[in-house]
Amino acid sequence: MKMEKEPKKLVFGATPIFLLLSLPLLFLGVDFFVGNKIPFDRWMQYFSISESSFGGGRAINRTIEEQQFMKFHLARLVRGEDRRNLDATGFACDKSVHSYVCVSSKPVTILVSNMTIYVPSDRDEPTVAVRPYARQEETLKDITPVNMVRYSTNTTQPPPACDFHHQVPAVIFSSASTGNIFHEMNEIIIPLYITTKHFQSRVQFILEDYKQSFINKYGVVLSHLSEHDVINPADNLTAAHCFPASIVGLRYHDNLALNSTEIPGGYSMPDFKQFLRQVFNLKFSHVSQIPKPRLMLLSRTNTRRFLNEEELIALIKEIGFQIIVIRRSKIVSNLTRFSQLINSCGVLVGAHGAGLTNEIFLPAGGVMIQVELLGTGWGSDTYYGNTARAMGVRYLRYRIEAGESSLQKLYGENSTVVTDPDSVYRNGGYRAARTVFLDQQNVRVNLVRFRETLVEAFSIITDWGGK
């Protein structure tokens, strides 16, 4: 049977129809959109232009999406009146109890020689100086200020011409206060995560008060928060860098804390610990995965030493722990190796001090034992005890008695230093108390009493039913 051809039909594809419908709008021009309060970039959002339709369409879409992405996540860093200021002027500074963060959603020029940021404005405004450190109540004399100059676009002194153009927001923070893992984690690394994680690595870090030791220790963390190399202002003294937006300063929530309800919202300590597991390639997520009960003992060499450390080590082994004794060594500065070593332990033991910050690397279900010395009760709870629960770590406190402290022999058993430690704070303030309780105190642990705490820790990490 001979097949007859069907009459040829005229079929219009989606792209030609779109073009025909779009032409009248395009001829109307930008004035049409402005007059009808429809910004051109907003209109472009609603119509997806394929590369087959217009040669650069895909690039246009990508640029618009990046701009919207950037503005949305910048706005997450401020709330209330500050959010309204950012929407209206493209600039806002949020000053909370702890932190001071300034955000510009407008393009900025940064002159790194004197850390000056030029922010376009409708009129000249007073310069805003920000010391880009998370805890503003700390002594900030070592933090170099960043000067934010809001200039009118009609000013007779425009910003310098750009030497480098960047496609992502600049984030400026300081690494001046380093060398102590508590302050590094509490006031730089956690606030940096809070401030920038939602940008999905699409930010550029500028490290004020640049320290190579900080980069050596935390460079792997920074590389997981930004896909760009960190800018050292000292290497760019004559350069002017231009960015589509900027963030000066870091958000801070609390001591070793991430609060999901605070700005920018949504992040918690479990999220941060998961981030650390990825960054440092930590093997154990839960203590039940560790084959044998292992304990790490932080051995101090100057102050707050265990005066009967060898007997303490023998006791730990007798109870059934494999023990790792950490004395000041190169491994402590190699955070990747050190975090992996801590992560392989179920229990961390140490006298009150910054080293206990490493509880953040313990697997969930692990135990941190803090030996609370005389006069350190508030700090022990505030900095390490109260923070453990959010980390998924069980906290056991061993509060020493006066006879276990070297201060009794140094000052006498009837001294108010021993009988009323709070009086030292009341009469001499924090610095006097620090000199006594942190710089002069060592401990001879009562092994009979301490055994009970160690046995409890052993029971916790070997009770897999409590997983």
pLDDT at 276: 97
Tell me: do 107 and 238 sit in the same domain.
yes
User: Of 238, 267, 296, which residue constitutes the final position of a domain?
Assistant: 267
Tell me: do 249 and 331 sit in the same domain.
no
Of the candidates 195, 180, 203, 342, the one whose C-alpha atom is nearest the C-alpha of residue 258 is: 195
Q: Which two three-digit tokens encode residue 333?
A: 């500065």
Tell me: do 306 and 430 sit in the same domain.
yes
Q: Percent of the chain scored above 90 by pLDDT?
A: 72
Decide if 275 is inside a domain: no
Tell me: do 257 and 303 sit in the same domain.
no
User: pTM, whole model, 2 decimals?
Assistant: 0.85
User: Of 23, 56, 75, which residue constitutes the final position of a domain?
Assistant: 75
Task: Give the confidence band of 49 by pLDDT, cuts at 50, 70, 90.
Answer: very low
Each residue's pLDDT tens digit, 117-130:
999 998 888 899 99
Asked if residues 394 and 366 have their Cβ atoms less than 8 Å apart, the reply is: yes
pLDDT at 431: 92
Decide if 230 is inside a domain: yes
Buried b / exposed e over 234-262, threshold 16 CB at 10 Å, is eebeebbbbbbbbbbbbbbbbbbbbeeeb
User: Of 42, 75, 108, which residue constitutes the final position of a domain?
Assistant: 75
Tell me: do 61 and 199 sit in the same domain.
no
Of the candidates 115, 112, 117, the one whose C-alpha atom is nearest the C-alpha of residue 90 is: 117
Tell me: do 50 and 63 sit in the same domain.
yes
Each residue's pLDDT tens digit, 403-436:
999 999 999 999 999 999 999 999 999 999 999 9
Each residue's pLDDT tens digit, 329-371:
656 778 999 999 999 999 999 999 999 999 999 999 999 999 9
Tell me: do 106 and 225 sit in the same domain.
yes
Decide if 1 is inside a domain: no
More confident residue, 27 or 199: 199
Asked if residues 156 and 234 have their Cβ atoms less than 8 Å apart, the reply is: no
Tell me: do 64 and 89 sit in the same domain.
no
pLDDT at 48: 34
Tell me: do 66 and 83 sit in the same domain.
no
Asked if residues 131 and 95 have their Cβ atoms less than 8 Å apart, the reply is: no
Which residues have C-beta within 8 Å of that of residue 139, sequence separation ≥ 6? none
Decide if 327 is inside a domain: yes
Per the prediction, the chain carries an average pLDDT of 86
Q: Mean pLDDT across the stretch 82-94?
A: 94
Decide if 211 is inside a domain: yes
The residue range of the domain holding 86 is: 77-267
Each residue's pLDDT tens digit, 301-333:
889 999 999 999 999 999 999 999 998 765 677
Decide if 394 is inside a domain: yes
Tell me: do 232 and 297 sit in the same domain.
no
Q: How many CA atoms lie within 13 A of 59 on its CB side?
A: 3
Decide if 22 is inside a domain: no
- Split into its structural domains, the chain has a count of 3
Each residue's pLDDT tens digit, 182-204:
999 999 999 999 999 999 999 99
Tell me: do 329 and 236 sit in the same domain.
no
pLDDT at 138: 75
Q: Mean pLDDT across the stretch 216-227?
A: 97
Q: Mean pLDDT across the stretch 288-307?
A: 95
Residue length of the chain: 467
| d(C-alpha 224, C-alpha 93), whole Å | 26
Tell me: do 110 and 197 sit in the same domain.
yes
In this structure, which amino acid lies at residue 9?
A: K
Decide if 18 is inside a domain: no
* CATH number for the domain harbouring residue 446: 3.40.50
Residue 36 has pLDDT above 80, yes or no: no
More confident residue, 38 or 237: 237
